[in-house]
Amino acid sequence: MSDNEQIRFLEAAEVQAILESPSLRSLTGLRNRCIMGIMYEAGLRISEALALKPRDVSLEDKRVEVLRGKGHRARTVYYRSDDLALLLERWKARRPPGDYLSPVVKGANKGKALSPWAFRRTFRGYVEKAGLDPEVVTPHVLRHTCGDRAPTPRGQPPGDPGGPGPQEHLHHTDLYPRR
């Protein structure tokens, strides 16, 4: 990202509109809502969210072990909402068998890894459904909005006054100018 580029950060109502776009009655919608929830609440990249294994997400302490992160670095991040924990619990009980937490749910590739390209295309549809501009609102914007809205230091367990953020070095996100 060049020095002149700016990341757009979403307002709470915009995030809510995007997160409410998938139908939770469909298996695909439930999966996509969980992916977007983890990206938003824990600050995960698409590739990190799609590489998660079921064992990487702990529902009890709202912990996500990112073992296949950027630069092949592992880190631990946390999400905060009980709603996301409930959705993840529901998803884990209903997801098709496979190695990945969020696999393809139907067709010949059922149970295999969902591609970042396929998720970006789906995300674009959710952004349009929410009445936002898909050229501006990307999964990357959703990810970075995590740090913009966090009431306490990002990535720490609820009630923990200190601890690491979802990114090992928080100054990376702080490089992006706020709108």
What domains can be seen in the chain, in order of their start residue? 12-173 (1.10.443.10)
Structure-block tokens of residue 81: 């909402």
Place of tokens 């996500």: 64
151 and 160 Cβ atoms separated by less than 8 Å: no
User: How would you write the pLDDT of the chain (179 residues) with one tens digit per residue?
Assistant: 455 566 678 988 999 999 999 999 999 999 999 999 999 999 999 999 999 999 999 999 999 999 877 777 789 999 999 999 999 999 999 999 999 999 999 999 999 999 999 999 999 999 999 999 999 999 999 988 875 444 444 444 444 444 444 443 343 444 444 43
The burial of 105, by beta-carbon neighbours within 10 Å (0-12 exposed, 13-18 middle, 19 or more buried), is given as buried
Q: Rounded distance, CA 33 to CA 40, Å?
A: 10
Give the residue carrying structure tokens 């298996």: 27
- Sheet of 75-78, strands arranged across: 57-58, 63-66, 75-78
- The count of residues in the chain is 179
